[in-house]
Amino acid sequence: MSSYEEMPDEPAPAPEKKAPEKKARKSTGKMSDKQKGDLKKHMVKMQKAGMSASEMKSHRMKMMGRMRKGMTLQKAHNDIKKSSSK
């Protein structure tokens, strides 16, 4: 007899995988009117400092993402500076 005939018809069931637990986040909702105003002022300041249009768009999107999570303008800006220097 060959070893092929001794094999079971069904393959062994794959072990079940648990879904990774999601970390609780702070509010990811909309920005307040104050935050929007602060961000606009900040972006004008960055434009005067000589940032290009593509750099400004990238910086603005990074700032918005952090501010939606609850960071202040200053904390968000410092976080971006810290992460870009690595």
pLDDT tens digits for 4-19? 666 666 666 666 666 6
Amino acid at residue number 45? K
Distances (CA, A) of 56 to 34, 35, 64, 69, 70: 20, 17, 12, 20, 21
Closest by Cα among 45, 47, 50, 33 to 74:
45
Answer whether residue 23 shows pLDDT above 90: no
Q: What is the pLDDT of residues 46-86, one digit of tens each?
A: 999 999 999 999 999 999 999 999 999 999 999 999 988 77
At residue 84, the pLDDT reads: 82
At residue 14, the pLDDT reads: 64
In degrees and rounded to multiples of 5, residue 7 shows phi and psi of: -70, 140
